[in-house]
Structure 1
Amino acid sequence: MAAAVDSPSADEAAAKTAQKRYEGLLMVRNKAIKGKGAWYWAHLEPLLLHNTETGLPKAVKLRCSLCDAVFSASNPSRTASEHLKRGTCPNFNSSSSSAAAAAAAKPISSVSTALVVPSSSSPFLVQHHHRKRTTTAAAAATSPSGSGSRMAPHLMLSGGKEDLGALAMLEDSVKKLKSPKTSPGPALSKAQIDSAIEFLADWVYESCGSVSFTSLDHPKFRAFLAQVGMPAVSPRDFTGARLESRFEEAKVESEARIRDAMFFQIASDGWKCDSRNSGESFSYNSEQGLVNLSVNLPNGTSLYRRALFVTASAPSNYAEEVLWETITGICGNLVQQCVGVVADRFKAKALRNLENQNHWMVNLTCQYQGFYSLIKDFAKDLPLFTTVAHNCLKLANFVNYRSPHVRNAFHKCQLQEYGHSSLLRAPPPHRFHFHAAYAMMEGTLSSVRALQLLLLDEGFKMVAIEDQGAREVGDMIRDAGFWNDLEAVHGLVKLVKDMAQEIEAERPLVGQCLPLWDELRAKVKDWCSKFHIAEGVVEKLVERRFKKNYHPAWAAAYILDPLYLVRDTSGKYLPPFKYLTPEQEKDVDRLITRLVARDEAHIALMELMKWRTEGLDPVYAQAVQMKERDPVTGKMRIVNPQSSRLVWETYLTEFKSLGKVAVRLIFLHATSCGFKCNWSLWRWVCAHGHSRTALDKVQKLIFIAAHSKLERRDFSSDQDKDAELFSLANGEDDVLNEVLVDTSSV
């Protein structure tokens, strides 16, 4: 096994931190200058200092624009108080700064003149910069004509200061009429304009609904285009011939890649098993209404095929028909090119039927959905889960609804402990599913300190004297066992949920399925030990879900993938048969026999015995298993993920029959997780599905966006990225919080 590469140096890490801090401060200052932040940012400027030897950023400072003094950037608010308010800065005047801040709070961006309006203490000065010239009403007041001095001292506007903008616009119109010629914006060549529009179209298409087409008509966006010398664009320009051209381009590229591959796998996500019909039918996910069908190629790439809008529950054979139509639509009569399907629901009769009818196919259920179904199993069949959920609901209902005195006392405790108040989460009975129960548990755990303080409140004590329910709730809050059980159930669900999210992000192959479930069993065992819970019931639920999810291809791919070869005492790298159960060993033989032609079955089994005893050359095995550290996540990654398959195709050529099975099994994906996008447009199309034109355009737009996302291996949504961005900002930079608070008070 090769050694891992070194982690990023301390200088690089510090540089990254400094750069992020600098960008955060710039964003804060820009917002403040627009009137959405603290006053002092008008006088403080962030500076990014670089290391003279390496050139990397090393520190962030704040410079006072009034006196050029430089300070630490760790606490801008304190710097402002000590340097500006306390008079340390020789050029700072608090009264004038207050006036400037007041002016900044109401910026005038569309006028070219400024006015002086008298107030009780000092004139209100508004300055406006129009292109390269700056004019002030103060200058007009002292002009030789005297017009400014005659107007300003006596001008009283009926609307108050709010009239300043309107009056400035009037003056601007007068000046435009006197000199109608305006300086042209930056001149762009036709080639530059065409290229810019192409990039704009790419962004709109690939955003997949996150950017509204009608937003191209927004006045501010049009103003931006004019400012940079671009002509106005119409939404219709992006939904006509340009859309058709871009779709055809992506489609041709996709089909060419499929033709180059010897075989492929179909992935389908968005199906939802309808439990009301004994698991024998499917419905679309009611929040999306979209089933995605994509193609996984042996080289590790994925290509989008089509979107299917399903508007009602459908029988299982409908899903079977859709999958088979997709297969034949790709490869015609050469259906052997499709070596399998992976879909996102259990009890999929459609998958079993297709596999039984086509002996060369391996049809799998999605591991991501398998782990989430395990959480449902816990919610339904784990007594501890039921007990904890019942107690949390009882606690929430008491605090929220029993008495205004209790509720107000709880809010007072929340304010004291957390600085904010809210009701405890308590879903209504008709929406009490495992997601709601888990959210309720999280809310209860996050309020533990406030609940403990509630017991000390005099108002609660008075209620508890006469109310038996209040005494029971008080005893529950005092009971360490209640909190231990709550933490245990929450920890178990989080354990499985985190693994499911990692599966969604990593998109493991079929050979990884057995190790994944072994990892889950080990974590569940540790969880039982930590919380002193008997292992029997939990392990039984895990094994039941494992059997529902299990496919013989898991064991076969685990044995045939050189990535999982184990070095024995003699130095050989051999397949890990010792980690299989006797039944799983038989599954390997049966699956390999099924996947080859009848006259090759005995040859394939003989080659399997040779593989079992000889394995792979140690040098090649080590090359396949070589890992390096991912610079982004810090996790160890396989250097060349395709090497497992390539070894069978180029080096292990003596395994003619077994090699055919190995190369087809090894690349199969174990998840069907597709790309994510904004669903508002698709919901509208589902509601107005009678419009064939609208449906056709949306289908093409989805294809373009999905093709681009899969090309970049980007499976996240813009909403997820935005949430992560705000989460990071909230955790790493308290100055951003200051801006958000200031903005909310404007």
Structure 2
Amino acid sequence: MATNATTATTTTTATTETASISGSTTAEEATAKALHKRYEGLQTVRTKAIKGKGAWYWAHLEPILIHNSETGLPKAVKLRCSLCDAVFSASNPSRTASEHLKRGTCPNFSSSPVPKPISSVSPIQHNHRKRPPAAVSGGGSSSAAVGQPSFSVSPVRFCSEIGYSGAIVVSQQQQSQSQNLILSGGKEDLGALAMLEDSVKKLKSPKTSPGPVLSKAQIDSAFDFLTDWVFESCGSVSLSSLEHPKFRAFLNQVGLPSISRRDFVGSRLDVKFEEVKAESEAKIRDALFFQVCSDGWKVKSFGGNEENLVNLSVNLPNGTSVFRRAVFTSGSVPSKYAEDVMWETITAICGSVVQQCVGIVSDKFKSKALRNLETQHHWMVNLSCQFQGFSSLIKDFSRELPIFVSVVENCLKLANFVNSKSQIRNCFHKYQLQEYGHAELLRVPRHRELNFMPLCAMLEDVVSSARALQLLLLDETYKIVSMEDPIAREVADMIRDARFWNDLQAVDSLVKLVREMAHDIETERPLVGQCLPLWDELRAKVKDWCGKFHVSESPIDRLIDRRFKKNYHPAWAAAYILDPLYLIRDTSGKYLPPFKCLTLEQEKDVDKLITRLVSREEAHIALMELMKWRTEGLDPVYAQAVQLKQRDPITGKMRIANPQSSRLVWETYLSEFKSLGKVAVRLIFLHATSCGFKCNWSVLRWFSSFRAGLDRAQKMIFIAAHAKLERRDFSNEEEKDAELFASTDGEDDVLNEVLVDASSV
């Protein structure tokens, strides 16, 4: 019994000890595992820091694991200073760096000298019996080195040749004493050697790292400006270029961290879009009524496809415009689709109160859609773009004006001959280089593309190459070709003919005349009341052109009248009559509306339009008020205040001092005209052009390539368009670049010289 009891006691004790040892072992393993995890974490942090993504002190502090000598398990994690081998606790590396490194406790941190250039240290000497030793400079002393190739390299000379000035610094004394350094990799080793020395300096002297130190607020502000620039450039700046090595190097040089393109199309894009959208909607809510501007229905050919971006914006009575949406189309779209897009835009803005939209101005072929919407909603005035109307005139001239057709045929014959005959083409290029410093083919439109833009480009080329074409006829090569080729003789007779150059100059002058007026319309964006004066101005200029070049007036007048009637809207006449800007002072001193400048039909249009825009009950009241306006006009002082002009400091042109005065007079001083005033304030502010945000080819490429990211692209277009409209910038970056490189100065002088030469032959 005693024996059994003893055995049981012994067994119990052994079991307890085993359990205790097992529990102790488990605890030690858990501690070791935690320490190892802590060590790996510190190593990861140090690795990132050495790559420039963390604190500077990790270059000098190295995590180490202290192991238990009995069990071999980790028992602690420490930090070792690589400069003096001192060991510290790893609980707070930042405090350790401050106390040990910054406070000067480390004997080698503050007093360590600038690393000695490796090129000044003697390489390891090897014993090679068959080759003589070579002397190597070493900080003012020299030692022998053997076994290297026989070529010589001057580190100072080659560093200057490769443009490296970072690390190798040789004093005058060293230069005088140094001898040629021999490296196994040849000349290419010097660049790598300089980079190595530069890395050593950075590691030993982190305080001297180059580049400005910016605060977080400065960095955030800089990236806000960068974000605005990228978004407002809209396609002109590729998002991928933000990760270009050179751009990242630039950011580093000015003290900014690198930025990811994903950051731009993510949170930054969303925040900026919401900010701009809220600002736009607030502006629209403030206005009592507005006009929708629809631009971009004209189909453009891009990369073999007919693709387009239709921009819809909102014109407000105070003269500002805000962007609303962009619609991507491919190929020609039906008029009904355009009508639906415009009406959806209106209802999305004002809901059921659609009377807030008092009209639409649109470009190109959407006249049917505009007429339908105007017929269905009597309060609307829907206009065709005047810029498109003037631009289309050039197309009319190129197809139907006799002098234009004749010049185009002659220039086609001349350009095709010069381009296709290799001998003639080479001679022509020779004289182009001689006269203009460049050589190129004359642009010839494809047969199916005989529209006005390619034709005008060809005419411009012939005009600008006039002197080279004259010299071409004097070349022996051309004379030899002319002996056998009748077309060469015909082209030569054409070039010698003064009438050809006179007609070409006339056509070129007419194109420039209309283009300049169209350009002014595009940049100044006239209101609807200016339409009649613009067409009168065009007729007067064309009349002078006919007299200057002895061209019959009737064919061109017929084309202008036809285009005028195609674009005309009764609102032109009504706004012209109601806008105080165009009041005329009569003999009695009164300022009266210019009814005498209207035709009988246009006077009837004014009555019809005014009665359509008011309710049936107000129609007769509005007509009575119109008669009163016709006979009494406006107080002379107010009329003069509205018509006051001042010189534009940029263009030098005289402009209306306050364009909003016309509308404000009706809303305040002329308040007794209850019914007519409602019509007047709505008509006067209407824009006559749809020119607004210009879409460039980069944006179309975006839409074509990234249909999946359409939502993001829409947001970027919205931001860019909003910024352009806010600063009234209606230009295109690509056109600006073209203007920068284009130089047409002196073309008219050259053509005049050719005319003189031709007439003397």
Q: If the TM-score is normalised by the length of the shorter chain, which range does it land in?
A: 0.7 to 0.9
Match of 2:733 in 1: 718
- 1:678-717 alignment, distance < 5 Å: 678-689=696-707, 691=708, 694-717=709-732
Question: C-alpha displacement at 1:125, in angstroms?
Answer: 6.2
Match of 2:51 in 1: none
* Cα distance between partner residues in 2 of 1:384 and 1:139: 83
* Cα distance between partner residues in 1 of 2:729 and 2:743: 20
Paired letter, 1:491: S
Contact 1:289 1:686 in 2 (8 A): no
* Cα distance between partner residues in 2 of 1:730 and 1:376: 25
Match of 1:198 in 2: 224
Residue 470, structure 1, aligned to residue 488, structure 2: yes
- 1:348-497 alignment, distance < 5 Å: 348-402=367-421, 404-497=422-515
* Cα distance between partner residues in 2 of 1:114 and 1:340: 79
Identity %: 70
Question: C-alpha displacement at 1:289, in angstroms?
Answer: 1.8
Match of 2:527 in 1: 509
Paired letter, 1:701: M
Match of 2:169 in 1: 135
1:554-606 Cα offsets, whole Å, 9 max, x none, are 00000000000011111111101111110000000000010001011111111
Contact 1:208 1:677 in 2 (8 A): no
Contact 2:297 2:363 in 1 (8 A): yes
Q: Secondary structure at the match of 2:469?
A: helix
Match of 1:555 in 2: 573
Contact 1:115 1:125 in 2 (8 A): no
- 1:220-235 alignment, distance < 5 Å: 220-235=246-261
1:65-117 Cα offsets, whole Å, 9 max, x none, are xxxxxxxxxxxxxxxxxxxxxxxxxxxxxxxxxxxxxxxxxxxxxxxx99334
Question: C-alpha displacement at 1:425, in angstroms?
Answer: 2.3
Using a 3 Å threshold, how does the CA distance of structure 1 residues 655 and 180 change in structure 2: closer, same or farther?
closer
Residue 267, structure 1, aligned to residue 293, structure 2: yes
- 1:35-54 alignment, distance < 5 Å: none
Using a 3 Å threshold, how does the CA distance of structure 1 residues 258 and 548 change in structure 2: closer, same or farther?
same
* Equivalent in 214, 231, 237 of residue 240 of structure 2: 214
Structure 2 gap ranges (5+) = 1-152, 747-761
Using a 3 Å threshold, how does the CA distance of structure 1 residues 244 and 176 change in structure 2: closer, same or farther?
closer
1:491-510 Cα offsets, whole Å, 9 max, x none, are 11111111111111000000
- 1:6-21 alignment, distance < 5 Å: none
Paired letter, 1:209: G
Match of 1:149 in 2: 179
Residue 596, structure 1, aligned to residue 614, structure 2: yes
Question: C-alpha displacement at 1:714, in angstroms?
Answer: 1.2
Question: C-alpha displacement at 1:260, in angstroms?
Answer: 1.1
- 1:728-739 alignment, distance < 5 Å: none
Question: C-alpha displacement at 1:163, in angstroms?
Answer: 7.1
Paired letter, 1:632: I
Contact 2:235 2:702 in 1 (8 A): no
Using a 3 Å threshold, how does the CA distance of structure 1 residues 519 and 503 change in structure 2: closer, same or farther?
same
1:661-687 Cα offsets, whole Å, 9 max, x none, are 000000000001121244324433235
Paired letter, 1:494: K
Using a 3 Å threshold, how does the CA distance of structure 1 residues 193 and 420 change in structure 2: closer, same or farther?
closer
Question: C-alpha displacement at 1:447, in angstroms?
Answer: 1.2
For normalisation by structure 2, the TM-score amounts to: 0.74
Match of 2:70 in 1: none
Question: C-alpha displacement at 1:193, in angstroms?
Answer: 2.0
1:301-352 Cα offsets, whole Å, 9 max, x none, are 0010001111232211111111111111111111000000000114621100
Residue 653, structure 1, aligned to residue 671, structure 2: yes
* Cα distance between partner residues in 2 of 1:704 and 1:539: 44
Using a 3 Å threshold, how does the CA distance of structure 1 residues 454 and 225 change in structure 2: closer, same or farther?
closer
Match of 1:305 in 2: 324
Contact 2:306 2:330 in 1 (8 A): no
For normalisation by structure 1, the TM-score amounts to: 0.75
* Cα distance between partner residues in 1 of 2:606 and 2:190: 82
* Cα distance between partner residues in 1 of 2:274 and 2:523: 30
Using a 3 Å threshold, how does the CA distance of structure 1 residues 396 and 284 change in structure 2: closer, same or farther?
closer
Residue 676, structure 1, aligned to residue 694, structure 2: yes
- 1:330-341 alignment, distance < 5 Å: 330-341=349-360
Paired letter, 1:485: D
Paired letter, 1:713: R
* Cα distance between partner residues in 1 of 2:232 and 2:486: 60
Contact 1:268 1:672 in 2 (8 A): yes
Paired letter, 1:653: S
Which one is further off, 666-675 or 217-226? Answer: 217-226
Match of 2:516 in 1: 498
Contact 2:202 2:209 in 1 (8 A): no
* Cα distance between partner residues in 2 of 1:591 and 1:231: 62
Which one is further off, 218-227 or 170-179? Answer: 170-179
Match of 2:544 in 1: 526
Match of 1:734 in 2: none
Question: C-alpha displacement at 1:713, in angstroms?
Answer: 1.1
- 1:85-164 alignment, distance < 5 Å: 115-117=155-157, 128-130=164-166, 135-136=169-170, 140-142=174-176, 146=177, 148-151=178-181
Question: C-alpha displacement at 1:190, in angstroms?
Answer: 2.0
Match of 1:74 in 2: none
Using a 3 Å threshold, how does the CA distance of structure 1 residues 158 and 422 change in structure 2: closer, same or farther?
farther
Using a 3 Å threshold, how does the CA distance of structure 1 residues 114 and 307 change in structure 2: closer, same or farther?
farther
* Cα distance between partner residues in 1 of 2:549 and 2:505: 9
Question: C-alpha displacement at 1:170, in angstroms?
Answer: 4.8
Q: Looking at both structures, which has the greater relative contact order when contacts are Cα pairs under 8 Å and sequence separation is at least 6? A: 1
1:432-453 Cα offsets, whole Å, 9 max, x none, are 3211111111111111111111
* Cα distance between partner residues in 1 of 2:197 and 2:571: 78
Contact 2:183 2:189 in 1 (8 A): no
Paired letter, 1:385: F
Contact 2:299 2:306 in 1 (8 A): no
Coordinate RMSD, CA, aligned:
2.8
* Cα distance between partner residues in 2 of 1:367 and 1:163: 68
Residue 575, structure 1, aligned to residue 593, structure 2: yes
Match of 1:248 in 2: 274
Using a 3 Å threshold, how does the CA distance of structure 1 residues 479 and 136 change in structure 2: closer, same or farther?
farther
Which one is further off, 133-142 or 245-254? Answer: 133-142
Match of 2:553 in 1: 535
Using a 3 Å threshold, how does the CA distance of structure 1 residues 725 and 413 change in structure 2: closer, same or farther?
closer
* Equivalent in 654, 668, 682 of residue 636 of structure 1: 654
* Cα distance between partner residues in 1 of 2:303 and 2:255: 46
Contact 1:272 1:285 in 2 (8 A): no
Contact 1:117 1:155 in 2 (8 A): no
* Cα distance between partner residues in 1 of 2:219 and 2:744: 36
Match of 2:309 in 1: 290
Paired letter, 2:618: E
Q: Secondary structure at the match of 1:637?
A: strand
Using a 3 Å threshold, how does the CA distance of structure 1 residues 498 and 138 change in structure 2: closer, same or farther?
farther
Question: C-alpha displacement at 1:648, in angstroms?
Answer: 0.2
Question: C-alpha displacement at 1:129, in angstroms?
Answer: 4.4
* Cα distance between partner residues in 2 of 1:535 and 1:235: 60
Match of 1:611 in 2: 629
Which one is further off, 586-595 or 448-457? Answer: 448-457
Q: Secondary structure at the match of 1:390?
A: helix
Which one is further off, 307-316 or 633-642? Answer: 307-316
Question: C-alpha displacement at 1:173, in angstroms?
Answer: 4.5
Contact 1:309 1:686 in 2 (8 A): no
* Cα distance between partner residues in 1 of 2:205 and 2:270: 46
Q: Secondary structure at the match of 1:186?
A: coil
Using a 3 Å threshold, how does the CA distance of structure 1 residues 729 and 481 change in structure 2: closer, same or farther?
closer
Q: Secondary structure at the match of 2:234?
A: coil
